[in-house]
A and B are shown apart, each in its own frame.
Chain A
């Protein structure tokens, strides 16, 4: 299993990216989707997911929609207009970070 600490700083970006792709999602669905994509390597705990969702909501990046499903209520999260713009920015930042990390751990040697 991968070290979950490595993903921690990118959790909000992962959530934004998933919502950008899926449109709207609920909490449990996000955890299962991440688990499926990473083939079980990354398991988002309840204690990490909900604070991250609430923070993004408080920042105005997510909107909430409640629907009745089966015999209970379900809270769906979706990106706001500001959230869509922020997703692009954060993904660009993450890609830049990944490139830097690759250079650090696998430097390309060249003979000049």
Chain B
């Protein structure tokens, strides 16, 4: 049974109360709840309110407030959103951590053959790249904000952009001594790992941005 405009609005209001504002998930939850209510109204001959209350009870856990260590406990949202984000960041962290160890290993093996001048030049490159990436983050943030809605991808973008903006600006090897690739004229492997991790993770901001924009195109039909 097809629901009326007002009945769909009632579902939307319920999802607003649960802070499910992430369009990529909200679209399918609205559709799922609508279909299920329509089916119950037809097969069980119940009214909208009764079917709606029955349906709400099924979504109680998935739409309940939730947070995860993986994203930071301060970021609270519906469980369905947080779980989707956690699954994504787990894979991203695994890839970036492994990449960072691989790069650090290569630097460790090449310690004796890398000239100090080359490390200084690399440091200037990394410092400049950080500033460029910071500018790109601000541009992406501006474009995402311009779409006027939130997705699980923009949520991931925003929570990570805050942390990485600090990395790009405050931990820039240009002016932060302990992030320098050189320490007492020797290679600083901890710094190499940190820079490799930060740069590898930066690629995923592009993925979050592209996925958000793809959702924007999908829902503008």
Contacts and interface: CB of A to CB of B under 8 A. Distances in A.
B27 A75 contact: yes
Interface in A26-75: 26-29, 32, 45-47, 50-51, 54-55, 58, 64-75
Contact of A47 (B25, B62, B221): B62
Contacts of B80: 47, 50-51
A24 to B, nearest CB: 14
Contact of B221 (A45, A46, A68): A68
B45 interface: no
B218 A27 contact: no
Contacts of B87: 51, 54-55, 58
B28 interface: yes
Interface in B6-26: 8, 25
A67 B221 CA distance: 7
Contact of B32 (A27, A55, A64, A71): A27
Interface of B: 2-3, 5, 8, 25, 27-28, 30-32, 34-36, 39, 58-59, 61-62, 80, 83-84, 87-88, 91, 218-219, 221
B221 A71 contact: no
B59 A66 contact: no
B191 to A, nearest CB: 32
Given A28-B36, A47-B62, A66-B218, A75 B28 contact: yes
Chain A contact-residue range equals 20 to 34
- Say whether chain B's binding surface is mostly helix, strand, loop, or mixed: helix
20 contacts: A26-B28, A28-B32, A28-B35, A32-B39, A50-B62, A51-B80, A51-B87, A58-B88, A65-B218, A66-B27, A70-B3, A71-B2, A72-B8, A72-B30, A72-B34, A73-B30, A73-B31, A74-B27, A74-B31, A75-B27
Nearest to A50: B80
Contacts of A69: 31
Nearest to B2: A70
A8 to B, nearest CB: 16
Pairs of residues from A and B, 9 with the lowest C-beta to C-beta distance, nearest first: A66-B218, A28-B35, A75-B28, A73-B27, A28-B32, A74-B31, A47-B62, A54-B84, A70-B2
A66 B221 contact: yes
B62 A26 contact: no
B31 A46 contact: no
Given A28-B31, A70-B2, 6 more contacts: A27-B28, A27-B31, A28-B32, A45-B58, A46-B32, A72-B30
